[in-house]
Amino acid sequence: MKTVLITGGSRGLGYALAKQALKNNMKVVAVTRNGTTLHELNNENLIVVECLYTEKNGRDKLVNALQNHKIKLDYLILNAGLLIKNKLENISENDLEKMFQVNSIAPLLLFKELTKNNCLSENYHTVTIGSMGGFQNSVKFPELLGYSASKAAIMAATQCLKEEYSDGRFNSIALGSVETEMFQTAFPQGKAQLTSEKAAQTILNLTLNFHEAGNGQIIPLSLSNP
């Protein structure tokens, strides 16, 4: 049985990804601040780790949980994200830093801890969830500068990981509009292209299969803008 780690697993796209992976008979390690909705799934193949992986002690807690369960990860889907909508002239330094911390820095520090502690299997595949907002030459929108820039950073960093770690595969998905709370925050009057369930099916399929043909790629997953 293959094992996938999913961050941001308690709601929205992360929750849909966890359910889809369980349907595919995978062992799922879901990382979240609050695992109430995940515990309700009552699935023996689901391990819920409640922690703030943006903080060192949270990353340590996750590593300890993996080691205690004797788990080696075959796939990583680094999905957790933060969007704070505001123009640059009005956004606080703290809010800007929080978006870069959650969207860009924490995923890299988490990956660093997992590799350092030998938590990954051979030929693992790491997928980061970026955004069309950070995709080069895509349409941009006001009040989303911090979110788009921080997502651009994790997509570029994913390509850099490919050059530093030859034992795995690394790809990023530039996600378009998906029916989640985050999309409604960004575009209150907008209609998303995909349900979270459909997006989860596509992302999981790419996670399980794309690394056989591609490495260090940014994959746009969008029908229109937004």
Tell me, what's the pLDDT at 112? 98
Q: How far apart are CA 203 and CA 173, in angstroms?
A: 8
Tell me, what's the pLDDT at 126? 98
Which residues constitute the domain of residue 156? 3-221
Q: pLDDT, tens digit, for every residue of 181-218?
A: 899 999 998 889 899 999 999 999 999 999 999 999 99
Structural domains of the chain, count: 1
Residue 105 in any domain: the answer is yes
Q: How far apart are CA 91 and CA 88, in angstroms?
A: 5
Q: How far apart are CA 50 and CA 125, in angstroms?
A: 23
Q: Is the pTM of this model over 0.85?
A: yes
| pLDDT greater than 80 at residue 52 | yes
Q: How far apart are CA 39 and CA 103, in angstroms?
A: 25
Residue 86 in any domain: the answer is yes
Whole-angstrom Cα Rg for the chain: 16
Residue 226 in any domain: the answer is no
Tell me, what's the pLDDT at 114? 98
Tell me, what's the pLDDT at 174? 97
Sheet with 46-50, edge to edge strand ranges: 46-50, 27-32, 3-7, 73-78, 120-131, 169-175, 217-221
Q: In this structure, what CATH number is given to the domain that contains residue 148?
A: 3.40.50.720
Average pLDDT over residues 88-100: 98
Q: How far apart are CA 181 and CA 192, in angstroms?
A: 11
